[in-house]
């Protein structure tokens, strides 16, 4: 998908530059609605391409951040679970606590965090007496909240990216149709200028694929 997109927008930019450089020979076309359509749809496509690139880059950065948040939350859970199991081994609820594996999913960690806070919260006083920090449970809750917010942001970003990709696809389809119309118009004006016609055609190398309305 990426190569046709870049090819189409790049060639559209070459087309508009060609019209600007052709001077009086194609002056009427440069001022035509066909040229304006290409300019407008090219602008839209480039905006959507930039937005997609930005969202994809943000998603890559968020993936690393989410891994860090998962690791931090797991450490907090493991600390509480191990202390509770070591100091309160006879409490039935404590025996049900399980330290999550290193590769536990975000949803598993959030569930484990909620359960650990619920159980440890009921025995916070003795656990603090046995060495648990006074702010340990609050820190665990904050870590869980950070991860939950990150997951919400990921979902919002993914939805925005899907919408932006759909808008990009639509703008590329419009750009392709506008280029087809412009191509026919320019070639009809360059019948008596074979040199310019050859230069124009060189921009559309592989035109059958690039201008095919069924292309991606």
Convert the pLDDT of each residue in 152-189 to its tens digit. Answer: 999 999 999 999 999 999 999 999 999 989 988 888 88
Domain architecture of the chain: domains with CATH:
2-210 (1.20.1260)
Check: pTM over 0.85? Answer yes or no. Answer: no
pLDDT at residue number 7: 65
pLDDT at residue number 11: 83
How far is it, in rounded angstroms, from Cα 211 to Cα 181?
10
Residuewise pLDDT in 10s, the chain (216 residues): 343 444 688 888 888 888 888 878 888 888 889 999 999 999 999 999 999 999 999 999 999 999 999 999 999 999 999 999 999 999 999 989 989 999 999 999 999 999 999 999 999 999 999 888 889 999 999 999 999 999 999 999 999 999 999 999 999 999 999 998 998 888 888 888 888 888 888 887 655 445 554 444
Helix extents (H) in 88-123: 92-95, 106-122
Length, in residues, of the chain: 216
Chain position carrying tokens 């290409």: 38
**DSSP structure class, residue 192:** T
How far is it, in rounded angstroms, from Cα 3 to Cα 216?
10
Structure tokens at 143: 């870590």
Tell how many helices (H) and how many strands (E) occur in the chain: 9, 0
pLDDT at residue number 207: 54
């Amino acid at each position: 998908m990426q190569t046709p997109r870049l090819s189409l927008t790049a060639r559209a930019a070459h087309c508009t530059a060609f019209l600007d450089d052709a001077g009086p020979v194609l002056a009427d076309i440069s001022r035509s609605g066909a040229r304006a359509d290409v300019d407008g749809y090219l602008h839209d496509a480039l905006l959507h391409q930039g937005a997609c690139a930005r969202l994809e880059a943000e998603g890559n950065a968020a993936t690393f951040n989410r891994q860090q948040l998962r690791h931090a939350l797991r450490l907090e859970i493991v600390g509480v679970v191990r202390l509770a199991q070591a100091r309160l081994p006879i409490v039935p609820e404590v025996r049900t606590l399980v330290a999550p594996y290193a590769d536990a999913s975000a949803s598993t960690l959030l569930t484990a965090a909620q359960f650990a806070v619920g159980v440890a919260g009921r025995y916070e006083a003795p656990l603090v007496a046995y060495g648990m920090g006074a702010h340990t449970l609050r820190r665990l809750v904050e870590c869980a909240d950070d991860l939950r917010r990150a997951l919400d942001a990921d979902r919002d970003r993914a939805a925005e990216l899907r919408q932006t990709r759909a808008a990009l696809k639509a703008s590329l389809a419009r750009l392709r149709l506008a280029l087809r119309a412009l191509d026919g118009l320019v070639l009809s004006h360059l019948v008596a200028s074979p040199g310019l016609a050859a230069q124009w055609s060189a921009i559309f190398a592989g035109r059958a694929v690039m201008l095919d309305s069924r292309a991606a």
